[in-house]
Amino acid sequence: MWPEKQIPIQSSTPENRPPPVERRHSARYYAHRVKESLTTRISKLICAIFLALLILVGIITFILWLSLRPHRPRFHVQEFSMPSLPQESGFKNAQIVYNATVRNANQNIGIYYDSMQLTMYYQDQSIGGSQLLFPFYQKPKNTTVIAGELAGRNLTVTSQRWQEFMTDLADGEVVFRFDITSTIRFKISTWDSKRHVMHANCPVGIGPDGLILPSYKDKRCPVYFV
Ligand SMILES: *[C@@H]1O[C@H](CO)[C@@H](O)[C@H](O)[C@H]1NC(C)=O
Ligand SMILES: *[C@@H]1O[C@H](CO)[C@@H](O)[C@H](O)[C@H]1NC(C)=O
Ligand SMILES: *[C@@H]1O[C@H](CO)[C@@H](O)[C@H](O)[C@H]1NC(C)=O
Protein backbone atom coordinates (compact mmCIF):
# COMPACT_ATOMS: atom_id res chain seq x y z
CA MET A 1 0.00 0.00 0.00
CA TRP A 2 2.57 2.54 0.93
CA PRO A 3 5.11 2.35 -1.89
CA GLU A 4 2.29 3.77 -4.02
CA LYS A 5 1.91 6.70 -1.69
CA GLN A 6 5.52 7.67 -2.40
CA ILE A 7 4.84 8.28 -6.04
CA PRO A 8 3.58 11.90 -5.65
CA ILE A 9 6.87 12.87 -3.98
CA GLN A 10 9.04 11.32 -6.68
CA SER A 11 7.05 13.05 -9.36
CA SER A 12 7.06 16.43 -7.67
CA THR A 13 9.03 19.15 -9.43
CA PRO A 14 12.25 20.59 -7.87
CA GLU A 15 10.67 23.98 -7.10
CA ASN A 16 8.02 22.54 -4.89
CA ARG A 17 10.04 19.64 -3.56
CA PRO A 18 9.61 19.81 0.21
CA PRO A 19 12.66 20.93 2.26
CA PRO A 20 14.35 18.36 4.59
CA VAL A 21 12.24 19.51 7.49
CA GLU A 22 9.24 18.82 5.43
CA ARG A 23 10.63 15.36 4.63
CA ARG A 24 10.81 14.56 8.33
CA HIS A 25 7.25 15.66 8.53
CA SER A 26 6.25 13.50 5.63
CA ALA A 27 8.05 10.51 7.17
CA ARG A 28 5.92 11.05 10.22
CA TYR A 29 3.00 11.49 7.89
CA TYR A 30 3.68 8.06 6.35
CA ALA A 31 4.08 6.47 9.73
CA HIS A 32 0.70 7.94 10.50
CA ARG A 33 -0.67 6.52 7.27
CA VAL A 34 0.65 3.06 8.16
CA LYS A 35 -1.02 3.33 11.53
CA GLU A 36 -4.20 4.43 9.86
CA SER A 37 -4.21 1.56 7.37
CA LEU A 38 -3.61 -0.79 10.28
CA THR A 39 -6.63 0.68 12.03
CA THR A 40 -8.64 0.22 8.85
CA ARG A 41 -7.52 -3.38 8.61
CA ILE A 42 -8.44 -4.04 12.22
CA SER A 43 -11.84 -2.44 11.81
CA LYS A 44 -12.37 -4.47 8.63
CA LEU A 45 -11.49 -7.61 10.57
CA ILE A 46 -13.90 -6.68 13.35
CA CYS A 47 -16.60 -6.08 10.76
CA ALA A 48 -15.92 -9.48 9.16
CA ILE A 49 -16.03 -11.23 12.55
CA PHE A 50 -19.24 -9.42 13.41
CA LEU A 51 -20.82 -10.40 10.07
CA ALA A 52 -19.73 -14.02 10.49
CA LEU A 53 -21.26 -14.05 13.98
CA LEU A 54 -24.45 -12.56 12.61
CA ILE A 55 -24.66 -15.26 9.92
CA LEU A 56 -23.95 -17.94 12.52
CA VAL A 57 -26.71 -16.61 14.80
CA GLY A 58 -29.03 -16.59 11.77
CA ILE A 59 -28.23 -20.21 10.95
CA ILE A 60 -28.72 -21.28 14.57
CA THR A 61 -32.03 -19.43 14.74
CA PHE A 62 -33.15 -21.10 11.52
CA ILE A 63 -32.22 -24.57 12.81
CA LEU A 64 -33.98 -23.86 16.13
CA TRP A 65 -37.03 -22.66 14.27
CA LEU A 66 -37.02 -25.82 12.12
CA SER A 67 -36.78 -28.08 15.16
CA LEU A 68 -39.22 -26.12 17.32
CA ARG A 69 -41.78 -25.39 14.63
CA PRO A 70 -44.96 -27.10 15.82
CA HIS A 71 -46.33 -29.97 13.79
CA ARG A 72 -50.09 -30.05 13.50
CA PRO A 73 -51.87 -32.96 15.20
CA ARG A 74 -52.21 -36.06 13.05
CA PHE A 75 -55.62 -37.71 12.75
CA HIS A 76 -56.30 -41.23 11.51
CA VAL A 77 -59.58 -43.09 11.28
CA GLN A 78 -59.02 -46.58 12.66
CA GLU A 79 -62.50 -48.04 12.67
CA PHE A 80 -65.78 -46.80 11.34
CA SER A 81 -69.03 -48.64 10.83
CA MET A 82 -72.74 -48.30 10.39
CA PRO A 83 -73.96 -51.73 11.46
CA SER A 84 -77.55 -51.40 10.27
CA LEU A 85 -76.55 -50.15 6.81
CA PRO A 86 -77.09 -53.45 5.01
CA GLN A 87 -80.75 -53.46 6.08
CA GLU A 88 -83.39 -51.84 3.94
CA SER A 89 -85.17 -50.20 6.92
CA GLY A 90 -82.01 -49.79 8.99
CA PHE A 91 -82.55 -46.06 9.47
CA LYS A 92 -84.79 -46.75 12.50
CA ASN A 93 -81.84 -47.97 14.49
CA ALA A 94 -79.12 -46.16 12.59
CA GLN A 95 -75.87 -45.94 14.47
CA ILE A 96 -72.33 -44.93 13.64
CA VAL A 97 -69.46 -46.41 15.58
CA TYR A 98 -66.13 -44.69 15.20
CA ASN A 99 -62.61 -44.98 16.45
CA ALA A 100 -60.04 -42.40 15.43
CA THR A 101 -56.69 -41.43 16.85
CA VAL A 102 -55.00 -38.09 17.24
CA ARG A 103 -51.26 -37.97 17.58
CA ASN A 104 -49.03 -35.18 18.80
CA ALA A 105 -45.92 -35.89 16.74
CA ASN A 106 -43.93 -33.05 18.25
CA GLN A 107 -40.78 -33.85 20.18
CA ASN A 108 -41.03 -31.07 22.79
CA ILE A 109 -44.33 -29.34 22.17
CA GLY A 110 -47.52 -30.18 24.03
CA ILE A 111 -50.98 -29.46 22.68
CA TYR A 112 -54.01 -28.21 24.57
CA TYR A 113 -57.30 -29.17 22.98
CA ASP A 114 -59.67 -26.59 24.42
CA SER A 115 -62.65 -28.05 22.62
CA MET A 116 -63.32 -30.77 20.12
CA GLN A 117 -66.43 -31.24 18.06
CA LEU A 118 -67.25 -34.12 15.75
CA THR A 119 -69.56 -33.53 12.81
CA MET A 120 -70.60 -36.19 10.31
CA TYR A 121 -71.31 -35.05 6.81
CA TYR A 122 -73.01 -36.80 3.97
CA GLN A 123 -72.75 -34.92 0.68
CA ASP A 124 -71.73 -31.78 2.53
CA GLN A 125 -74.76 -31.84 4.79
CA SER A 126 -74.46 -32.49 8.47
CA ILE A 127 -76.18 -35.70 9.55
CA GLY A 128 -75.10 -35.58 13.16
CA GLY A 129 -72.32 -35.05 15.59
CA SER A 130 -71.34 -34.61 19.17
CA GLN A 131 -68.99 -32.88 21.52
CA LEU A 132 -65.82 -34.90 22.05
CA LEU A 133 -63.46 -35.22 24.99
CA PHE A 134 -63.21 -32.67 27.72
CA PRO A 135 -60.54 -30.03 27.34
CA PHE A 136 -57.36 -32.01 27.57
CA TYR A 137 -53.64 -31.62 27.34
CA GLN A 138 -51.68 -33.94 25.11
CA LYS A 139 -48.07 -34.58 25.93
CA PRO A 140 -45.44 -34.71 23.18
CA LYS A 141 -45.36 -38.02 21.25
CA ASN A 142 -48.70 -39.12 22.69
CA THR A 143 -51.50 -40.78 20.75
CA THR A 144 -55.01 -40.42 22.10
CA VAL A 145 -57.99 -42.49 21.00
CA ILE A 146 -61.19 -40.72 20.06
CA ALA A 147 -63.81 -43.44 20.01
CA GLY A 148 -67.55 -43.45 20.43
CA GLU A 149 -70.84 -43.77 18.67
CA LEU A 150 -73.47 -41.52 17.18
CA ALA A 151 -77.09 -42.53 17.51
CA GLY A 152 -80.51 -41.25 18.50
CA ARG A 153 -80.56 -37.47 18.77
CA ASN A 154 -76.97 -37.24 17.61
CA LEU A 155 -77.57 -38.89 14.26
CA THR A 156 -80.41 -37.64 12.11
CA VAL A 157 -81.13 -39.97 9.24
CA THR A 158 -84.48 -39.82 7.51
CA SER A 159 -85.89 -42.64 5.40
CA GLN A 160 -85.29 -40.48 2.33
CA ARG A 161 -81.61 -40.09 3.21
CA TRP A 162 -81.43 -43.81 3.89
CA GLN A 163 -82.65 -44.43 0.34
CA GLU A 164 -79.76 -42.32 -0.92
CA PHE A 165 -77.38 -44.49 1.11
CA MET A 166 -78.92 -47.57 -0.49
CA THR A 167 -78.47 -46.13 -3.96
CA ASP A 168 -74.80 -45.33 -3.19
CA LEU A 169 -74.31 -48.77 -1.74
CA ALA A 170 -75.56 -50.36 -4.96
CA ASP A 171 -72.58 -48.59 -6.58
CA GLY A 172 -70.24 -50.04 -3.99
CA GLU A 173 -69.86 -47.50 -1.18
CA VAL A 174 -71.42 -44.74 0.87
CA VAL A 175 -68.97 -41.96 1.56
CA PHE A 176 -69.22 -39.85 4.68
CA ARG A 177 -67.01 -37.10 5.92
CA PHE A 178 -65.78 -37.35 9.45
CA ASP A 179 -64.91 -33.82 10.53
CA ILE A 180 -63.23 -32.88 13.77
CA THR A 181 -63.11 -29.20 14.65
CA SER A 182 -60.84 -28.35 17.50
CA THR A 183 -59.49 -25.25 19.17
CA ILE A 184 -55.89 -25.92 20.03
CA ARG A 185 -52.94 -24.18 21.61
CA PHE A 186 -49.34 -25.27 21.46
CA LYS A 187 -47.30 -25.38 24.63
CA ILE A 188 -43.64 -24.70 23.95
CA SER A 189 -41.72 -24.96 27.21
CA THR A 190 -43.56 -22.48 29.45
CA TRP A 191 -44.99 -20.44 26.64
CA ASP A 192 -48.53 -21.07 25.30
CA SER A 193 -49.34 -20.12 21.74
CA LYS A 194 -52.53 -18.35 20.81
CA ARG A 195 -55.63 -20.37 19.97
CA HIS A 196 -55.93 -21.93 16.53
CA VAL A 197 -59.11 -23.40 15.13
CA MET A 198 -58.29 -26.57 13.30
CA HIS A 199 -60.23 -28.95 11.07
CA ALA A 200 -59.44 -32.57 10.41
CA ASN A 201 -61.32 -33.81 7.43
CA CYS A 202 -61.51 -37.53 6.94
CA PRO A 203 -63.44 -39.12 4.10
CA VAL A 204 -64.76 -42.53 5.11
CA GLY A 205 -66.33 -45.01 2.73
CA ILE A 206 -68.55 -47.78 4.01
CA GLY A 207 -69.06 -50.99 2.08
CA PRO A 208 -72.12 -53.25 1.79
CA ASP A 209 -71.23 -55.01 5.06
CA GLY A 210 -71.58 -51.72 6.96
CA LEU A 211 -67.84 -51.55 7.70
CA ILE A 212 -65.20 -49.06 6.59
CA LEU A 213 -63.57 -50.02 3.29
CA PRO A 214 -59.88 -50.90 3.57
CA SER A 215 -58.90 -48.09 1.20
CA TYR A 216 -60.14 -45.49 3.74
CA LYS A 217 -58.66 -47.11 6.78
CA ASP A 218 -55.57 -45.77 8.55
CA LYS A 219 -55.33 -42.81 6.20
CA ARG A 220 -53.94 -39.59 7.56
CA CYS A 221 -56.70 -37.00 7.51
CA PRO A 222 -55.94 -33.64 5.95
CA VAL A 223 -55.74 -30.98 8.64
CA TYR A 224 -56.15 -27.30 8.03
CA PHE A 225 -56.40 -24.18 10.13
CA VAL A 226 -59.07 -21.53 9.73
C1 LIG B 1 -59.34 -47.76 18.76
O2 LIG B 1 -58.21 -48.03 17.92
C3 LIG B 1 -56.99 -48.11 18.62
C4 LIG B 1 -55.89 -48.24 17.59
O5 LIG B 1 -56.18 -49.23 16.66
C6 LIG B 1 -57.02 -49.23 19.61
O7 LIG B 1 -55.81 -49.29 20.31
C8 LIG B 1 -58.18 -49.01 20.59
O9 LIG B 1 -58.27 -50.09 21.47
C10 LIG B 1 -59.48 -48.81 19.84
N11 LIG B 1 -60.47 -48.41 20.81
C12 LIG B 1 -61.76 -48.80 20.75
C13 LIG B 1 -62.66 -48.29 21.82
O14 LIG B 1 -62.18 -49.50 19.85
C1 LIG C 1 -75.21 -36.94 22.00
O2 LIG C 1 -74.09 -36.08 22.19
C3 LIG C 1 -74.03 -35.54 23.50
C4 LIG C 1 -72.83 -34.62 23.51
O5 LIG C 1 -72.84 -33.76 22.42
C6 LIG C 1 -73.86 -36.66 24.53
O7 LIG C 1 -73.83 -36.10 25.81
C8 LIG C 1 -75.03 -37.60 24.37
O9 LIG C 1 -74.80 -38.70 25.24
C10 LIG C 1 -75.16 -38.09 22.96
N11 LIG C 1 -76.39 -38.89 22.86
C12 LIG C 1 -76.44 -40.02 22.20
C13 LIG C 1 -77.74 -40.68 22.18
O14 LIG C 1 -75.47 -40.50 21.62
C1 LIG D 1 -51.55 -40.34 26.05
O2 LIG D 1 -52.01 -39.51 27.08
C3 LIG D 1 -53.18 -39.98 27.73
C4 LIG D 1 -53.62 -38.92 28.72
O5 LIG D 1 -52.53 -38.39 29.41
C6 LIG D 1 -52.88 -41.32 28.39
O7 LIG D 1 -54.06 -41.81 28.98
C8 LIG D 1 -52.40 -42.29 27.32
O9 LIG D 1 -52.05 -43.51 27.90
C10 LIG D 1 -51.22 -41.72 26.58
N11 LIG D 1 -50.90 -42.62 25.47
C12 LIG D 1 -49.68 -43.02 25.19
C13 LIG D 1 -49.52 -43.90 24.02
O14 LIG D 1 -48.72 -42.67 25.87
Q: What is the pLDDT of residues 24-48, one digit of tens each?
A: 667 788 888 888 788 888 889 999 9
Please check whether residue 97 is in contact with residue 118, taking contact to mean a CB–CB distance below 8 angstroms: no
**157: amino acid identity, one letter:** V
CATH number 3.30.310 given to 74-225 = no
pTM over 0.75: no
- 159 pLDDT tier (thresholds 50, 70, 90): confident
Residues with CB under 6 A from ligand 1: 78, 99, 101, 145, 147
Closest CA to 111 of 73, 144, 69, 66: 73
Pick from 116, 153, 155, 181 the residue to mutate for probing ligand 2's pocket: most ligand atoms within 8 Å of its CB. Answer: 153
Return mean pLDDT, the chain.
87
What pLDDT, in 10s, does the model give residues 106-134?
988 999 999 999 999 999 999 999 999 77
Residue 22 pLDDT grade (very low, low, confident, very high; cuts 50, 70, 90):
low
List the one residue out of 205, 150, 158, 149 whose CA is nearest residue 177.
205
Q: Where are the domains of the chain?
A: 24-69, 74-225
Closest-approaching ligand to the CA atom of 141: 3
Give the chain's largest Cα–Cα span.
122
Smallest Cα–Cα separation from 116: which of 40, 48, 200? Answer: 200
Pocket flag, ligand 2, residue 154 (CB < 6 Å): yes
130 lines ligand 2 (CB under 6 A): yes
Instruction: Specify the residue with its C-alpha closest to ligand 3, atom 5.
Output: 138
